[in-house]
Amino acid sequence: MPDKIMVEVAFALPSKQIIIPVLVHKDCTVKEAIELSGIQLKFDEIDLNVNDVGIFGKLTTLDGALRERDRIEIYRPLIADPKEIRRQRAAEGKDMKKGG
């Protein structure tokens, strides 16, 4: 099927992760692939008006183009800003160690 490509749609919560392979037409957008995967039916947390999306860790847009074997990732909002946590630790005089 030369007019079709295989991509994956991924989403993760701390307790559950899922990657869904999807066969889509080669002109498919990121948003169309997400919708075709049905992943939004499995996770109420996914709101494409709120969640950022990326391909292999690089931010992209919902109308972004896809290539064979791309992995579309749907990102959750950060619970805490890492910079703010470092500021708080510094203000409290705590040791700042790499990675923790």
Give the whole-number percent of the chain exceeding pLDDT 90: 67
pLDDT higher than threshold 70 for residue 98: no
CB 46 within 8 A of CB 39: yes
pLDDT higher than threshold 60 for residue 96: no
pLDDT higher than threshold 80 for residue 97: no
95, two tokens:
């040791």
- Collapse the DSSP code of 71 into the 3-class scheme (helix H, G, I; strand E, B; otherwise coil) and give the result: strand
pLDDT higher than threshold 70 for residue 1: no
pLDDT higher than threshold 60 for residue 100: no
Domains of the chain, first to last: 4-91 (3.10.20.30)
